[in-house]
Structure 1
């Protein structure tokens, strides 16, 4: 029986006589699915148009599994669990004809395929949200045959597990989301009152007790047990929860490091603001970064370079399973480093630097107009558009025309002594830098879009080694010659923006939203789905 209904011989509810039963619904499905999306058509074609949602238990198992998508930061109501149940009951009660039953079947399958797509590839279209997005849009790659069998066996939770991003950080985000929601249910954490004066080690203050409680909620610090019964001797004093002691200082420094703040142990304005971000906001941050993970963390190769823009960190996942990490400098908020996915093809040793038009207009020309000696100090050559050298004294610097400025190679070149290249429309790359002191900063958005890498020579050596490329990078640099050196095999590179990162120990690092992208993504993620 279909949907719990006894088959009827004929029905005229749609204005025409028609056979009832499963074969009638199959015929109706074959007609109606022709106007649906190709994946929906393929799903039913594989089933010979056999309906998928005949049993009440199947609908119940599906709607129950949909509620579990909350653990992925998605809104279960986007996939209409209440409507799925109510329409199913209505069909049973009203004795609906084959056309109506087919409509319901298509509706339920559409909800399932939509949920699977969002779980695997994300709900929000990144191309519509980020103007500098340069990542190929990947279609969902789950098997429709697997989906069909899961429906018949009512194994929806296992199906969801199969399509989730199979990457350790994603699972850590899921676990962290559950943890922070548990804290929310318990009432969150206390808020430190606004004040001008900083809290410092050695202070005794009521705010210190609040600070201690705030850090204890997240496990940064064990709550100080103050129990007078534990101190029967009057000469022994209980610990003072109001005193900013060494243990609390260490906890504050851990918190500051996890939030990319200067780890000085002083609770000033920035640290206080980070402490006072409510747990609800942290939950939203986790959710939207899970969405970012769904955009990119699929089809990953065994080895790849991952650039974390907001975390100022590069991770090279080597073929042997080792992970090499380094600090990076990324683009300023008004010269953003783009999100992209590409492949490293070659390196430039002792690169020259042709100054890009924006930097030329906004930075270099004003400096040259103030002092023409800037060109000699920075070893910058003035060229015509065809590459012919020009005399700087003969250039009208107030209206220089289509000149080209190129910095000579060497240790003081803006690209340092090495650049790692990969095709992209934004002309960004990884490179060395003479400004090594910037790597010691906690927040490092100082570049003009490209990525400066600390210890880039070591990264280059590993890339050559892992791609079977025979090159001595140190000898190449020592030669002083500008040369391109190809990798024998390309190495995938992913550059992306995460404002939450789960560390190896399971703790979360919450980063400043330097490009102010979080709010726009959250609005789209929370926007009710219209189908």
Structure 2
């Protein structure tokens, strides 16, 4: 169970989205043996001149030697393309069967040079498209998410290593060079295979929408169905063995109709993995998560593999990760430790954006200037109903130039450009400290006086910024790790509002995951609080033009 206080954990560099993207580069391809074809011929050269730079570069590192000269090499390519299903991609996007059919005409004896040339480049172009999708993602995130603000770097394929794998006839090895080389991605691949196997075996039973929640100690057929449902995803210890197979052995097996302690613990683990209150009671929310179809879970895994392909590159050794849908912040420190805390993120109608930036400074004892959206939608209606609201909330009224105004002098039906500001203090919405990083969305990490919200299992409750449990401890770590000579608690104690610049900027990434591998090997499925999965799944399944 996740403790109330923040914790230190030692995290391996292969942990969830940790580490820098492998710099893919390599020496030029060695000269081929004299028995191999010496060049691609004028027909291919002419077509290459009008092709993409990446395709031209592939043949350049090969010394202009062709690749797809026999049926075996094409068969290997076709099988590798079909195998991309294991990465949640759609093999039919790459037309493997059409490619194999075209190879018969291109490679048959007497085929003209033009046909061979067109097929040669078609096959290579298809491979490079698949490698690009595998390394950086098939879907452009900006087309399906208006709040996306993370740059996707161009693919950095190691064309020389890919060429060597192709010369060895090992297209699968070439594919492996593009796949994100991180343990969490491999865990998602394994999870996808596991859930597809569950689907192949018929899925899991749907539980009845019982009037009363199922509780520890209950008995009945509904408990048996619950046991079978949890066993389907890997809780084998919940299933009783068939005594008919072992008539002479006394079996220690659970009674399937009884909601016993083992079943309670399995339910609690399921609840934790789905960001539900882990009380061991199957109420409406837990029942809804249990009844989610295996097909839906497969789609969610595929969506998050695509998100991993977007993000698993260009990351530094040390950075702050905000997992929006998981309500979780992790600071991967330079010494290899990981500091972790629970967070509160934006409500569905005020979503926390996905972005990448750098933490530049911290504000100690911050004042709070009411953001335009909150002022328009939340504060002004309250001021119009109750003129005393401003005094109750200790809000000062300022002109656009910063001059303090008498609230009675303002026409609150049309206040113009006035600003509302709350002074530093225990009731300030930003608490005692703000962690700031430049971004167009005006979001930041901050303290809060409403610390009780961290105890909730689902915490999409803010107006877009991220409230961090134990943020004072995070601030001191940032000071210490960047060589910034400052003591957080002393600065807070003197009561002054001030900005403290970090001696070295710290990268920060805000991202959205609805499936994540857990340390116990199971996949955690989070509520899709911003309804982003469907658009991504639809885009993944949409055919591409090669």
Q: Tell me the TM-score normalized by structure 1.
A: 0.92
2:353 is aligned with 1:331:
no
CA–CA distance in structure 1, aligned partners of residues 203 and 243 of structure 2: 28
CA–CA distance in structure 2, aligned partners of residues 86 and 237 of structure 1: 58
Partners of 2:217 and 2:260 within 8 A in 1? yes
C-alpha deviation, 1:284, in angstroms? 0.9
C-alpha root-mean-square deviation of aligned residues, in Å?
2.2
Say which SS state the counterpart of residue 35 (structure 1) adopts.
coil
Which of these residues, 487, 500, 513, is aligned with residue 472 of structure 1?
A: 487
The aligned counterpart of 1:246 is 261
The aligned counterpart of 1:512 is 527
Deviations 1:293-326 (A, max 9, x none): 1001112211111111000001111112211111
Larger Rg belongs to = 1
Say which SS state the counterpart of residue 487 (structure 1) adopts.
strand
Deviations 1:309-358 (A, max 9, x none): 00000111111221111100000001000001111111111111111111
- Cα pair distance change 1:194/1:94, threshold 3 Å: farther
- Which has the bigger relative contact order, CA under 8 A and spacing at least 6? 2
2:384 is aligned with 1:359:
no
Which of these residues, 436, 451, 455, is aligned with residue 421 of structure 1?
A: 436
Which of these residues, 262, 284, 300, is aligned with residue 285 of structure 1?
A: 300
Deviations 1:148-167 (A, max 9, x none): 22222223222222222222
Matches within 5 A, 1:60-99: 60-93=75-108, 95-99=110-114
Matches within 5 A, 1:48-197: 48-93=63-108, 95-197=110-212
C-alpha deviation, 1:224, in angstroms? 4.1
- Cα pair distance change 1:221/1:54, threshold 3 Å: closer
CA–CA distance in structure 2, aligned partners of residues 473 and 289 of structure 1: 37
Say which SS state the counterpart of residue 202 (structure 2) adopts.
coil
The aligned counterpart of 1:10 is none
Partners of 2:39 and 2:63 within 8 A in 1? no
Partners of 1:259 and 1:511 within 8 A in 2? yes
Unaligned runs of 5+ in 2: 1-35
Say which SS state the counterpart of residue 211 (structure 2) adopts.
coil
Report the count of equivalent residues.
Answer: 510
Deviations 1:385-418 (A, max 9, x none): 1110000122121221111111111221111111
- Cα pair distance change 1:232/1:166, threshold 3 Å: closer
C-alpha deviation, 1:247, in angstroms? 2.2
- Cα pair distance change 1:224/1:39, threshold 3 Å: closer
C-alpha deviation, 1:195, in angstroms? 2.8
The aligned counterpart of 1:16 is none
The aligned counterpart of 1:6 is none
Deviations 1:264-315 (A, max 9, x none): 2221221111111111111111111000010011122111111110000011
246-255 or 319-328: bigger deviation:
246-255
CA–CA distance in structure 2, aligned partners of residues 228 and 127 of structure 1: 57
CA–CA distance in structure 1, aligned partners of residues 265 and 487 of structure 2: 43
The aligned counterpart of 1:262 is 277
CA–CA distance in structure 2, aligned partners of residues 453 and 156 of structure 1: 46
The aligned counterpart of 1:374 is 389
C-alpha deviation, 1:225, in angstroms? 2.2
CA–CA distance in structure 2, aligned partners of residues 87 and 480 of structure 1: 75
CA–CA distance in structure 1, aligned partners of residues 79 and 465 of structure 2: 46
Partners of 1:329 and 1:445 within 8 A in 2? yes
CA–CA distance in structure 1, aligned partners of residues 349 and 421 of structure 2: 23
2:426 is aligned with 1:399:
no
Deviations 1:40-92 (A, max 9, x none): 12222333433221132221222222222222111122222212211111223
Partners of 2:274 and 2:525 within 8 A in 1? yes
Unaligned runs of 5+ in 1: 1-20
